[in-house]
């Protein structure tokens, strides 16, 4: 009998057909098919939900939809045996049934009404936050767009203000400031039509990135990144949780694939994102009794789309890292090695996906789905 570990593995006698790949089109798009247990999902992202790009492809079901599917795998093997024997018609019927999306996935696609719901998003000056504020507004949400430079009339904040919509509320919000976060809570309470009904959604998006191997990065580097990425998320979440609980709403935290797997020279960033993931997993269990969903968005490489890394920024960071390193470290590593390291980081500036829609659609789904996932992994799959 095949087990989940057999899916996509090598061939063995009696095993279900193995995972096969075929490449099609000049762009090298892939079509994946596991003939025993594949289900159709929209092209354009991992995770098994609707996304841009149109069309369907076949891929093995995601882990969340595979809970308790050992029986399905056994059924698939039986279907294969019947198809090759006298019960060919029954085997074909079972095989077609297995191609249907799991019931959980079908239910998850239902969307909640957004009328009257409000969402607060941090880090709306640019990048994901700025684009998300516009998308949620277009969907009908009232959006509280927290901007770091709203008080200085920064470009991002000014653009959102110029929409001149009663449902787009731009507010000054530095996630590292207890005072500004408290003022943001007061503003939201005063602006909501009925504060007793609470705030439907909180999207902790504000964040920074950096680089530097452990022996070059200072403790201050670790603290500065964590203050925004980790403690900023904790600070804002704690401040708004009473409003979120009243609405039985959603907390959506933006982490990264580097919050799941480590990468050399990115320890400052990884530590902060791993921390947000752990915080979210703990909070999810605590909020279950209140009907609040806590969700992680873990994007892959969207550097080109967000502009979170720039060549000028890398040069400034590199100079600080080199000058801050001790004589022993500089002598042992050498300037040539360090220069190659910096050049590698600069090569990432224009890398990754340029279209943010995978991330934005996942966040929207997390806020509107009747059965959102605990984790979303927007990424280029082929």
* Contact between 77 and 37 (Cβ < 8 Å): no
- For residue 39, the SS3 value is strand
The answer to whether the CB of 156 falls within 8 A of the CB of 124 is yes
How far apart are the C-alpha atoms of 301 and 258, rounded to whole Å?
Answer: 10
Pairing verdict, β 20-24 and 29-33? antiparallel
**Residue 372 CB partners (closer than 8 Å, separation 6+):** 108, 250, 293, 295, 365, 366
Please give the positions annotated as active site. Answer: 269
Distance CA 119, CA 102 (A): 30
Q: 360 with 368: CB under 8 angstroms?
A: no
- Which residue bears the tokens 């006698």? 13
Query: Which residues, other chains included, contact 103 with Cβ-Cβ below 8 Å and sequence gap of 6+?
Result: none
142 in helix, strand or coil?
A: strand
């Amino acid at each position: 009998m095949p087990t989940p570990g057999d899916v996509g593995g090598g061939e063995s006698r009696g095993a279900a057909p193995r995972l096969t790949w075929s490449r099609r089109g000049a762009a090298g798009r892939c079509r994946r098919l596991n003939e025993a247990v594949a289900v159709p999902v929209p092209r354009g992202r991992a995770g098994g939900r609707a996304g841009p790009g149109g069309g369907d492809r076949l891929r093995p079901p995601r882990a969340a939809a595979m809970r308790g599917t050992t029986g399905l795998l056994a059924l698939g093997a039986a279907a294969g045996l019947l198809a090759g024997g006298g019960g060919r018609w029954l085997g074909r019927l079972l095989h077609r049934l297995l191609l249907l999306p799991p019931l959980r996935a079908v239910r998850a696609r239902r969307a909640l009404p957004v009328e009257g719901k409000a969402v607060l998003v941090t880090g709306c000056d640019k990048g994901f936050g700025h684009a998300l504020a516009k998308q949620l507004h277009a969907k009908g949400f009232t959006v509280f767009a927290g901007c770091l430079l709203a008080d200085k009339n920064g470009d991002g904040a000014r653009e959102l203000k110029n929409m001149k919509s009663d449902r787009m509320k731009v507010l000054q919000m530095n996630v590292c400031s207890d005072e500004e976060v408290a003022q943001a809570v007061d503003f939201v309470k005063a602006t909501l039509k009925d504060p007793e009904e609470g705030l439907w959604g909180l999207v902790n998006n504000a964040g920074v990135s950096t680089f530097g191997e452990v022996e070059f990065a200072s403790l201050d580097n670790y603290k500065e990144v964590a203050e925004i990425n980790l403690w900023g998320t904790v600070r804002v979440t704690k401040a708004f949780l009473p409003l979120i609980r009243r609405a039985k709403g959603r907390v959506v935290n933006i982490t990264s694939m580097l919050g799941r797997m480590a990468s050399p020279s990115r320890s400052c960033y990884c530590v902060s994102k791993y921390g947000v993931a752990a915080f979210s997993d703990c909070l999810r269990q605590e909020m279950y009794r209140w009907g609040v969903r806590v969700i992680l968005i873990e994007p892959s490489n969207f550097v080109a789309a967000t502009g979170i890394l720039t060549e000028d920024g890398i040069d400034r960071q590199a100079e600080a890292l080199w000058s801050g390193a001790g004589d022993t470290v500089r002598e042992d590593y050498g300037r040539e090695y360090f220069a190659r390291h910096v050049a590698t980081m600069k090569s990432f500036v224009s890398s990754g996906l340029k279209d943010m829609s995978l991330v934005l659609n996942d966040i929207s789904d997390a806020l509107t789905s009747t059965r959102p996932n605990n984790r979303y992994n927007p990424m280029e799959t082929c």
